[in-house]
Homo-oligomer: A and B are copies of this chain.
Amino acid sequence: MIRISAYHSPRCFGYSGASAGAAICKIIRDAGPISRAELGRRTGLSKSTVSLHVERLLNLGLIAEEATPSGKRTRLVFNREAGYVVAIDLGVTSVDVALCDLGGTIIRHEERSIRVSDGPEIVLSEIMAVIDAILSENQVEPGQLYGIGMGIPAPVEFSTGYPINPPIMPGWHKYPLRKILGERYQCLVYIDNDVNLMAVGEMQYGVGRGEENQIFVKVGSGIGAGIILNGKLYRGAKGCAGDIGHISLKNSEELCPCGNKGCLEMVASGRALARLGTKLALEGESHALRRILDEGREITAKDIGDLASQGDLLCVSLIRMSGEAIGEVLAGLINFVNPSLIVLGGGVAGLGGRWLTTIKEVIYRKSTPLATRGLEIRFSELKSKAGVIGAAALVVDEVFSIDRVTQMVSQEG
Binding site for B on A (CB under 8 A): 1-8, 10-15, 19-20, 23, 26-27, 30, 41-46, 155, 164-165, 200, 203-204, 212-213, 225, 227-244, 246-250, 258, 260, 262, 328-329, 331-333, 335-340, 365-371, 373-375, 393-394, 397-398, 401-402
> Which residues on the B side are within 8 Å of A164 (C-beta)?
370
Most central of A15, A165, A229, A375 by chain B CB within 10 Å? A229
> Are the C-beta atoms of A374 and B42 separated by less than 8 Å?
no
Given that A13-B20, A13-B45 are known contacts, is A250 also in contact with B247, CB under 8 Å in the complex? no
A238 lies within 8 A of B1 (CB): no
Q: Is B228 touching A338 in the complex (CB atoms < 8 A)?
A: no
- Cβ B1 vs Cβ A337 within 8 A: no
- In-complex Cβ contact of A3 among B232, B246, B331 (8 A): B232
Q: Which residues of B contact A7 (CB under 8 A)?
A: 6, 12, 19, 23, 26, 402
Q: Is the CB of B13 within 8 A of A43?
A: yes
Partner of A248, one of B41, B227, B250, B375: B250
Q: Which single residue of chain B is at the shortest CB-CB distance from A398?
A: B2
Residues in chain B near residue A231, CB distance under 8 A: 1, 3
A237 in contact with B212 (CB, 8 Å): yes
Asked if A165 and B370 make an inter-chain contact with CB atoms under 8 angstroms apart, the answer reads yes
Whether the Cβ atoms of A236 and B213 lie closer than 8 Å is yes
Q: How far is the CA of A303 from the CA of B239 in the complex (A)?
A: 42
Q: Which of B4, B368, B397 contacts A402 (CB 8 A)?
A: B4
A129 to chain B, nearest CB (A): 30
* B338 & A248 in contact (Cβ 8 Å cutoff): no
- Given A12-B12, A20-B13, A237-B339, A243 and B393 contact (CB-CB distance below 8 Å): no
Decide if A234 touches B230 in the complex (CB within 8 Å). yes
Q: Quick one: closest B residue to A155, CB to CB?
A: B370
- How far, in Å, is A156 (CB) from chain B's closest CB? 11
Q: A12-B12, A42-B8, A44-B15 are in contact. Are A247 and B336 (CB under 8 A)?
A: yes
Give CA–CA (A10, B43) in the complex, Å. 5
Chain B residues near A10 (CB-CB < 8 A):
41-44
Which of B23, B236, B246, B371 is in CB contact (< 8 Å) with A339? B236
- Which B residue's beta carbon lies closest to that of A341? B237
How long is the Cα–Cα vector from A45 to B13 in the complex, in angstroms?
7
Flag if B329 contacts A246 (CB, 8 Å): no
Name the one of B27, B248, B366 contacting A328, with C-beta atoms under 8 angstroms. B248
Query: Contacts A7-B6, A13-B20, A13-B43; is A1 near B228 (CB within 8 Å)?
Result: yes
Q: How far is the CA of A230 from the CA of B4 in the complex (A)?
A: 12
Chosen A-B contacts, 7 in total, with CB atoms closer than 8 Å, are: A1-B228, A1-B394, A8-B43, A12-B12, A14-B45, A237-B338, A243-B335
Known contacts A30-B8, A248-B332: A370-B43 contact under CB 8 Å: no
Contact B203 A243 (CB under 8 A): no
Bound CA span A242–B231, Å = 18
- Among A12, A213, A367, max chain B CB count under 10 A is at A12
- Complex: chain B residue closest to A228, CB-CB: B1
Other CB < 8 Å A-B pairs besides A240-B370, A246-B367, 17 of them? A2-B233, A4-B402, A6-B6, A10-B43, A13-B20, A14-B44, A213-B236, A227-B336, A235-B338, A236-B337, A238-B338, A238-B371, A238-B373, A248-B366, A250-B262, A258-B368, A332-B333
Point out the residues of chain B lying under 8 angstroms from A213, CB to CB.
Answer: 236-237
